[in-house]
Structure 1
Amino acid sequence: MEQTNRTDKQLLFKGIKTLVFALLSLFMGPILMHLALSDKENSLYLPLLIVASLICAFAVFLIFKGIKIIMASMFKK
């Protein structure tokens, strides 16, 4: 019997959801970084800068993870 290759829809939606969170993080990280860098005399400068950098790094991680999940749903790996 020949098995047809079909996309796992639940896994595909999980990957798309991951990419949506990455998109939100891609906007939120640079906005927070701009707020932190615009007022260096503020007492929250360093914590806000650290949080913004972590959010930016997390966004890149989520992009790779989301693409990997989508590829796994298509190619069954």
Structure 2
Amino acid sequence: METKRTNKEVLIQGLKKMGLSLLCMFLGPTLIYIAFSNQEKPLYIPILIIGCLICGLAIFFAFKGLKTILDSMFNN
């Protein structure tokens, strides 16, 4: 009978994705705040779009990271 163990390589990949998600969670709202505080500048729209895309990436990487971490614990 084999004991189930956590796959450490997959767990590290999941933690890296979660770290990237955390970085995006701070960077995205910061860019959105900067864009809204400088609405008269010509780069208002591009910075706002980039901020929204980074917020979307934060959600994407959070889900991928959680799935990877759970796969490392429960898959063979």
Q: TM-score range by the shorter chain?
A: over 0.9
Gaps of at least 5 residues in structure 1 are: none
Structure 1 vs Structure 2: percent identity of aligned residues? 45
1:3: Cα distance to partner? 1.4
Give the TM-score normalised by structure 2: 0.97
Amino acid at match of 2:34: L
Aligned length: 76
Please state whether the residue corresponding to 2:45 is helix, strand or coil. helix
Counterparts of 1:39 and 1:7 in 2: how far apart (Å)? 48
* Per-residue deviation, residues 11-48 of structure 1 (Å, max 9, x unmatched): 00000010000000000000000000001110000000
Counterparts of 1:18 and 1:73 in 2: how far apart (Å)? 13
Alignment of 1:1-77 (within 5 A): 2-76=1-75
Segments of 4+ moved more than 2 angstroms? none
